[in-house]
A and B are shown apart, each in its own frame.
Chain A
Amino acid sequence: MRKKLGNMNKRKIRDLIGTNLMLIGTLFASVLFFLIFILLFYRSALVLENTSIIDILFSSTWNPDNGQFGLAPIIIGTILVTGIALLIAIPISLLSAIYIAEYAPTKIRRMIRPFIDVLAGVPSVVYGLCAFLFLVPLVKDVIAPLFGVRTTGLCIFTAAVTLAVMVFPIIISLCVESFCAIPIALKEASLSVGATKWETVKKVVFRASSPSILAAILLGFGRAFGETIAINMVVGGIPVMPSSVFQPGETLASLIASKYGELMAIPLQESALMLVALILFVVVLLFNILGVFILRRAKKRWNY
Chain B
Amino acid sequence: MKKSSINQIETKHLNVEFHNHPVIKDINIEIPAKQLTAIIGPSGCGKTTLLKSFNRLLEIQDDVKITGQIVVDGINIMSAGHNVPDIRKKMGLISQKPYPLPMSIFENVAYGLRIHHDKNAKELAENVQHCLQEVGLWNEVKDRLHDPASRLSVGQQQRLCLARAIAVQPEVLLCDEPTSALDPIAAQQIEKLLLKLKKDYTVILVTHTLRQAKRVADYVIFLYFGMVIEQGPADEFFNNPKNPETKAYLSGEIS
Chain A residues in the interface with B (C-beta under 8 A): 105-106, 183-196, 199, 203-204, 207-208, 301-304
CB distance from B62 to the nearest CB of A (A): 5
Asked whether, in the complex, the Cβ of B150 is within 8 Å of the Cβ of A192, the reply is: no
Q: With A188-B93, A304-B102 in contact, is A193–B165 under 8 Å at CB?
A: yes
What's the count of A-B pairs with C-beta under 8 Å?
80
Main secondary structure of the interface of A (DSSP, over half): helix
Asked whether, in the complex, the Cβ of A208 is within 8 Å of the Cβ of B88, the reply is: no
Contacts of B168 in A (CB 8 A): 193-194
22 contacts between A and B (CB under 8 A): A105-B62, A106-B62, A185-B95, A188-B57, A188-B93, A188-B95, A189-B95, A189-B161, A189-B164, A192-B93, A192-B165, A193-B111, A193-B164, A193-B167, A194-B85, A194-B88, A194-B89, A195-B85, A203-B101, A208-B102, A302-B150, A303-B150
Contacts of A106 in B (CB 8 A): 62-63
Contacts A189-B99, A193-B111, A193-B112 aside, 9 further interface pairs with beta carbons under 8 A come to A183-B99, A189-B101, A193-B88, A193-B89, A194-B89, A203-B101, A204-B101, A208-B101, A302-B150
What residue in chain A is nearest B107 (Cβ atoms)?
A203
CB distance from B255 to the nearest CB of A (A): 25
B103 within 8 Å of A (CB atoms): yes
Chain B residues in the interface with A (C-beta under 8 A): 52, 55, 57, 60-63, 85-86, 88-89, 91-93, 95-97, 99, 101-103, 111-112, 115-116, 148, 150, 161, 164-165, 167-168, 174
Asked whether, in the complex, the Cβ of B93 is within 8 Å of the Cβ of A186, the reply is: no
Asked whether, in the complex, the Cβ of B150 is within 8 Å of the Cβ of A301, the reply is: yes
Q: With A192-B57, A193-B88, A208-B102 in contact, is A199–B115 under 8 Å at CB?
A: yes
Asked whether, in the complex, the Cβ of B86 is within 8 Å of the Cβ of A186, the reply is: no
How many angstroms from the CA of A196 to the CA of B55 in the assembled complex? 13
How many angstroms from the CA of A193 to the CA of B164 in the assembled complex? 8
How many angstroms from the CA of A184 to the CA of B176 in the assembled complex? 14
What residue in chain A is nearest B108 (Cβ atoms)?
A189
How many angstroms from the CA of A207 to the CA of B102 in the assembled complex? 7
Asked whether, in the complex, the Cβ of A191 is within 8 Å of the Cβ of B57, the reply is: yes
Asked whether, in the complex, the Cβ of B150 is within 8 Å of the Cβ of A194, the reply is: no
Asked whether, in the complex, the Cβ of A207 is within 8 Å of the Cβ of B115, the reply is: no
CB distance from A20 to the nearest CB of B (A): 43
How many angstroms from the CA of A64 to the CA of B116 in the assembled complex? 65
Contacts of A192 in B (CB 8 A): 55, 57, 88, 91-93, 165, 174
Q: With A186-B101, A301-B150, A302-B150 in contact, is A194–B112 under 8 Å at CB?
A: yes
What residue in chain A is nearest B61 (Cβ atoms)?
A184
Q: With A186-B99, A194-B85 in contact, is A203–B60 under 8 Å at CB?
A: no
Asked whether, in the complex, the Cβ of B101 is within 8 Å of the Cβ of A190, the reply is: yes
Contacts of A207 in B (CB 8 A): 101-103
How many angstroms from the CA of A196 to the CA of B62 in the assembled complex? 18
How many angstroms from the CA of A183 to the CA of B62 in the assembled complex? 15
Contacts of A185 in B (CB 8 A): 95-97, 99
How many angstroms from the CA of A185 to the CA of B96 in the assembled complex? 9
CB distance from B86 to the nearest CB of A (A): 7
How many angstroms from the CA of A208 to the CA of B91 in the assembled complex? 24
How many angstroms from the CA of A123 to the CA of B164 in the assembled complex? 50
Q: With A183-B99, A188-B95 in contact, is A203–B88 under 8 Å at CB?
A: no
Q: Which 6 A-B pairs have the closest CB atoms?
A: A194-B89, A193-B112, A192-B93, A303-B150, A208-B102, A302-B102
CB distance from B47 to the nearest CB of A (A): 16
Contacts of A203 in B (CB 8 A): 101, 111
How many angstroms from the CA of A183 to the CA of B55 in the assembled complex? 19
Contacts of B148 in A (CB 8 A): 301-302
CB distance from A179 to the nearest CB of B (A): 13
CB distance from B107 to the nearest CB of A (A): 9
Cβ-defined partner of B60 (8 Å) among A188, A199, A208, A304? A188
What residue in chain B is nearest A193 (Cβ atoms)?
B112
How many angstroms from the CA of A233 to the CA of B208 in the assembled complex? 66
Asked whether, in the complex, the Cβ of A187 is within 8 Å of the Cβ of B60, the reply is: yes
What residue in chain B is nearest A197 (Cβ atoms)?
B60
Contacts of B115 in A (CB 8 A): 193-195, 199
CB distance from A181 to the nearest CB of B (A): 13
Asked whether, in the complex, the Cβ of B86 is within 8 Å of the Cβ of A194, the reply is: yes
Cβ-defined partner of A194 (8 Å) among B95, B97, B116, B174? B116
CB distance from A273 to the nearest CB of B (A): 46
Quick one: which of B52, B99, B103, B174 has the most chain A CB within 10 A?
B99
Asked whether, in the complex, the Cβ of B60 is within 8 Å of the Cβ of A191, the reply is: yes
What residue in chain B is nearest A208 (Cβ atoms)?
B102
How many angstroms from the CA of A199 to the CA of B101 in the assembled complex? 13
What residue in chain B is nearest A195 (Cβ atoms)?
B115
Cβ-defined partner of B92 (8 Å) among A187, A193, A196, A303? A193
